[in-house]
């Protein structure tokens, strides 16, 4: 069990699965800091404008719910959690304060772009489900990724494999942050699209370059010109 | 690469800077002289009697825009920045290495090596561009001495020895600096370096450029989360930006000396733009100061091949690239600090 102050953001899981070094640069090196304030701005903005719920008969749509899991050591916020009203079935449902009946939570995570299968997004969504399960003592079998550009939903089942992967990712994330070491860069094609590229310098730091040799080369070329 | 953001230099005496929404407003003589969006700025540098409103300082702190205040000559007075940012592990490592004599001297050696090599390149450029320079033989001799000094920096030596070599190199370089001045020799000459205050126009020009460079390097270090105050070559002294001064060494010849020399040699600044005060201290007038700033900003937009990272980089981003390389080295990504060598 984790203490509250040791919780790490759920969104870090998808960073970690995308690239361990990227996650370390952000969460160990604090290199996102410059943007933290803007992020906090958005955060407040979200809370002010989106923390509301909408009721459509048997469906309640709640935005901006705070989530956490002390078991996995995660914290975060769900874009949308839908609560589907159940008929008499308290086995798979949860109570909602001030509302009658039993409800089944169904997390929905918003992603930019068009529909695509990305394991790291599925893990991120699953982590939200695990938080909801822990907080509401309920079992959640599925959720969805919503792709804004094409307005399409991808349903995600929280099967044993995905759950195991999510728990493993949470463990590696905590290991990474505890060790405080940043993994060495490995230049790949995906680096070209990565927003952390300038800070990571994969082409410079990835290959073990010999700085002493670089300096000696300078000295030799300078003194070579003289003779 | 990070976008090359602009630095706002305010030289108008009595100017008042304040915030209006997401913009910086410069007021003087009861009117608005300039209004720029905050997101286009990386720094604000104020010279002399210039003041800033607290809301503007707050906005700058929030957006990581460094404000620095300088005297009319360009002497650094104070700077203002927002909450301490960046990585505590990185800063701790920086302090540990600064406490370790071996690490300090290795980093200092890299920096001094680059400085000497870059000074030598300044001499070589003059020799190449002006082969008939009457002082060519003195310049050649100095370049040779610098090359020999470089060889002595190839192996590990104590920090004091590194400092001694640096002092020797500075003496050799500034001894022939006079010969790099090719025009307006009755106004611009160079006997030796004077700083507090500068006693001749050339020194005034150099001091002013070094002050601006120090601002840029400090900002670069802060933006990657390093502490500009704790250096390796320059030891701690309250109020002195040790690491900024360390990192500056490699840039002085390229970003300041060359800019100063070409301003004089191309007659973009004139002798009458400098005023000798009663104490012998030399001051630049406003027009000259602006001329210098324009030349400096222009130099920053030129692109140059970085010999270590192997990419083309705008000159203005060099301090940022070097700050990043220093951070990556301290965090264990590189086996040494690779300074910038100008070719």
Q: What is the mean pLDDT of each run of 10 residues along chain A (227 residues)?
A: 89 92 86 45 45 79 90 92 83 80 90 79 96 93 88 93 97 92 88 82 77 88 75
Residues B183 and B66 in one domain: no
Hey, are the CB atoms on B117 and A222 less than 8 Å from each other? yes
Residue B339 domain-assigned? no
Handedness of CA A144, A147, A148, A152 (dihedral sign): negative
Contact B184, B270 (CB under 8 A): yes
Contact B215, B68 (CB under 8 A): yes
What is the rounded distance in angstroms from the CA atom of residue B68 to the CA atom of residue B43?
Answer: 8
Chain A neighbours among B 211-230 (CB < 8 Å)? Answer: 223-225
Choose one of B80, B113, B128: the last residue of a domain: B80
> Looking at the whole model, is its pTM more than 0.80?
no
- Residue B199's domain comprises 88-331
The pLDDT assigned to A42 comes to 46
Neighbours of A194 (CB within 10 A): 17
The pLDDT assigned to A45 comes to 38
Residues B142 and B287 in one domain: yes
Please report, for residues A125, A143, B184, the alpha-carbon distance to residue A78 in angstroms, rounded to integers and kept in the order given. Answer: 9, 11, 69
Residues B256 and B177 in one domain: yes
Nearest to A204 among B63, B117, B309 (CB): B309
Contact A65, A77 (CB under 8 A): yes
What is the rounded distance in angstroms from the CA atom of residue B341 to the CA atom of residue B270?
Answer: 31
Residue B281 domain-assigned? yes
Q: ipTM of the predicted structure?
A: 0.74
Residues B127 and B12 in one domain: no
Please report, for residues A192, B7, B64, B131, the alpha-carbon distance to residue B38 in angstroms, rounded to integers and kept in the order given. Answer: 28, 11, 10, 47
Report the number of distinct structural domains present in chain B.
2
Residue B102 domain-assigned? yes
Strand partners, B274: B284
Residues B98 and B233 in one domain: yes
SS3 B135: coil
Q: Is B85's Cβ below 8 Å from some Cβ in A?
A: yes
Indicate the angle between helix axes A20-27 and A11-18, nearest 10 degrees.
140
Residues B211 and B262 in one domain: yes
Do the annotations mark residue B166 as ligand-binding? Answer: yes
Residue B64 domain-assigned? yes
Residue B337 domain-assigned? no
Residue B206 domain-assigned? yes
Residue B342 domain-assigned? no
Radius of gyration of chain A (CA): 22
What is the rounded distance in angstroms from the CA atom of residue A118 to the CA atom of residue A149?
Answer: 16
CATH number at residue B69: 3.100.10.20
Choose one of B80, B99, B123: the last residue of a domain: B80
Residues B144 and B232 in one domain: yes
- Angle ∠(B325,B328,B331) on CA atoms, nearest 5: 150
Estimate to the nearest angstrom the gap between the alpha carbon of B108 and the chain centroid.
Answer: 17
CATH number at residue B188: 1.20.120.920
Residues B94 and B132 in one domain: yes
Residues B62 and B93 in one domain: no
B343 min Cα distance to partner chain A (Å): 10
Helix (H) / strand (E) element for A109: namely strand A99-111
Residues B37 and B156 in one domain: no
Residue in A with minimal Cα distance to B340? A215
Residue B340 domain-assigned? no
Joined together, the tokens standing for residue B135 give 């002082």
- Name the stretches of chain B with pLDDT < 50: 1
B186 min Cα distance to partner chain A (Å): 32
The pLDDT assigned to A33 comes to 42
The pLDDT assigned to A202 comes to 86
The pLDDT assigned to A49 comes to 44
Residues B144 and B76 in one domain: no
Choose one of B30, B51, B80: the last residue of a domain: B80
Residues B170 and B76 in one domain: no
Written as one string, the DSSP assignment of B63-90 is TT-EEEEE-TT--EEEEE--S--S-HHH
Helix (H) / strand (E) element for B304: namely strand B303-305
CB burial readout A98-114, b (16+ within 10 A) else e: eeeebbbbbbbbebeee
Hey, are the CB atoms on B336 and A208 less than 8 Å from each other? no
Chain B neighbours among A 121-180 (CB < 8 Å)? Answer: 180
């Amino acid at each position: 069990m984790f203490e509250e102050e040791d919780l790490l953001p759920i969104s870090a899981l998808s960073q970690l699965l995308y690239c361990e070094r990227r996650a370390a640069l952000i969460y160990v090196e604090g290199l996102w800091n410059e943007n933290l304030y803007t992020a906090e701005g958005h955060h407040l903005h979200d809370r002010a404008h989106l923390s509301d719920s909408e009721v459509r008969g048997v469906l309640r749509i709640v935005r901006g719910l705070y989530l956490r899991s002390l078991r996995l050591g995660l914290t975060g916020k769900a874009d949308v959690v839908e609560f589907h009203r159940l008929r008499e079935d308290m086995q798979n449902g949860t109570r909602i304060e001030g509302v009658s009946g039993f409800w089944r939570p169904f997390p929905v995570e918003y992603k930019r772009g068009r529909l695509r299968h990305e394991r790291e997004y599925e893990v991120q969504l699953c982590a939200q489900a695990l938080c909801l399960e822990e907080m509401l003592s309920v079992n959640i079998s599925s959720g969805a990724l919503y792709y804004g550009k094409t307005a399409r939903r991808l349903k995600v089942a929280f099967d044993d494999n995905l759950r195991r992967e999510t728990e493993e990712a949470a463990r590696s994330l905590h290991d990474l942050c505890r060790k405080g070491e940043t993994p060495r860069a490995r230049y790949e094609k995906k680096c070209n699209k990565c927003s952390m590229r300038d800070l990571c310098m994969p082409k410079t730091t990835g290959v073990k370059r010999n700085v002493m040799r670089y300096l000696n080369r300078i000295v030799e070329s300078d003194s070579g010109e003289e003779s | 690469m990070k976008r090359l953001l602009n630095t706002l230099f305010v030289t108008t005496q009595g100017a008042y800077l304040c915030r209006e929404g997401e913009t910086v407003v410069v007021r003087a003589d009861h009117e608005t002289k300039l209004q720029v969006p905050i997101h286009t700025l990386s720094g604000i540098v104020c010279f002399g009697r210039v003041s800033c409103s607290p809301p503007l300082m707050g906005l700058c702190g929030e957006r990581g825009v460094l404000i620095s205040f300088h005297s009319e000559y360009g002497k650094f007075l104070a700077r203002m920045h927002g909450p301490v940012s960046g990585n505590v592990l990185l800063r701790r490592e920086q302090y540990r290495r600064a406490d370790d004599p071996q690490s300090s001297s290795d980093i200092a050696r890299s920096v001094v090596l680059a400085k000497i090599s870059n000074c030598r390149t300044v001499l070589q450029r003059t020799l190449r561009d002006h082969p008939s320079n009457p002082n060519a033989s003195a310049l050649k001799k100095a370049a040779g001495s610098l090359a020999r000094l470089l060889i002595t920096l190839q192996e590990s030596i104590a920090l004091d020895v590194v400092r001694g070599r640096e002092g020797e190199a500075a003496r050799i370089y500034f001894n022939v600096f006079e010969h790099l001045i090719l025009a307006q020799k009755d106004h611009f000459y160079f006997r030796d370096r004077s700083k507090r205050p500068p006693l001749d126009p050339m020194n005034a020009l150099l001091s002013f450029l070094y002050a601006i460079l120090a601002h840029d390097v400090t900002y670069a270090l802060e933006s990657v989360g390093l502490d500009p105050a704790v250096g390796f070559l320059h030891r701690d002294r309250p109020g002195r930006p040790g690491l900024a001064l360390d990192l500056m060494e490699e840039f002085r010849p390229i970003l300041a000396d060359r800019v100063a020399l070409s301003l004089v040699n191309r007659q973009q600044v004139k002798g009458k733009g400098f005023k000798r005060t009663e104490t012998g201290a030399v001051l630049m007038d406003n027009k000259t100061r602006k001329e210098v700033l324009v030349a400096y900003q222009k130099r920053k937009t030129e692109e140059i091949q970085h010999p270590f990272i192997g990419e083309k980089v705008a000159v203005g981003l060099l301090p940022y690239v070097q700050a990043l390389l220093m951070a990556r080295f301290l965090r264990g990504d590189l086996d040494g600090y690779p300074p910038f060598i100008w070719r």
